[in-house]
Amino acid sequence: MTQRVAVVTGAQGGLGESMCKAMCDQDRRVVGSFLPGAEAEAQSWQADMKAAGYDVAIYPLDVTDYDHCSSFIAKVEEEVGPIEILVNNAGITRDGPLKRLKPEQWQAVLRTNLDSMYNMCQPLFDAMCGRGFGRIVNISSLNGEKGQFGQANYSAAKAGIYGFTKAIAQEGARKGVTVNAVSPGYIDTPMVRQVPENVLNAIVDGIPVGRLGQPEEIARAVAFLTAEDAGFITGTNLSVNGGQYMS
């Protein structure tokens, strides 16, 4: 069987890198994306991945721009093959309490974290349905489930992913296309490790399993939902948060 092409947006972050590795371990042809203008960093990352045994193609992508997403998809499909697996992982934070949250902070997070879902899925979805196979996983967040002080923009965007996921899951259900969400809790990534020690300790104290999650644990959830035999799981959210929020 021809290797399926899997795209992971935001590939260079702690979570994205682990997802790329998990897709490679599933024998996928993996394509990652990076922010335009960061070519040198992306090439260095790609070389490090290859040295570790993971051959990942990487392309520039602005997930906030529909036309750029369409061009990215066309280029990948021309050079690598038809995209049958999509992991919408790219995301940002621009935190602040609502009274100080500026319009540009709101818009940047909504465009990157929520508009990107449409921008990437819409150009791909019909072709996936036509081929009779597709796996889409949208990365949400614990804070999309429960909300978080100072993250009205982020929580709103991540919560919106659930409605989007459930709606298009219904559109693809009879055509072999599954659409699911994964909601990570607090994961041991460089970004989380930048939190002041006392704050980080308080976060860990609130996690029933007593530790931060590992990026590989999120990647395992994504790999589970993108597997060939995962066709009966669609329109759902898989929370991977150590029991911090139980819904």
- Residues taking part in catalysis: 154
186 by DSSP, 3-state: which? coil
Question: Can you read off the two tokens belonging to residue 229?
Answer: 């035999």
Cβ density class 165-187: b for 16+ within 10 Å, e for less: bbebbeebeeebbbbbbbbbbbb
**Backbone conformation region of residue 210, classed left if phi is above 0, alpha if psi is from -120 to 50, else beta:** left
CB 114 within 8 A of CB 155: no
Question: Tokens 């150009």 belong to which residue?
Answer: 123
First vs last Cα of the chain: how many Å apart? 39
CA dihedral 13, 16, 22, 28 (to 10 degrees): -130
CB 185 within 8 A of CB 244: yes
Residue type at position 219: A
DSSP 111-143: IIIIIHHHHHHHHHHHHHHHHT-EEEEEE--HH
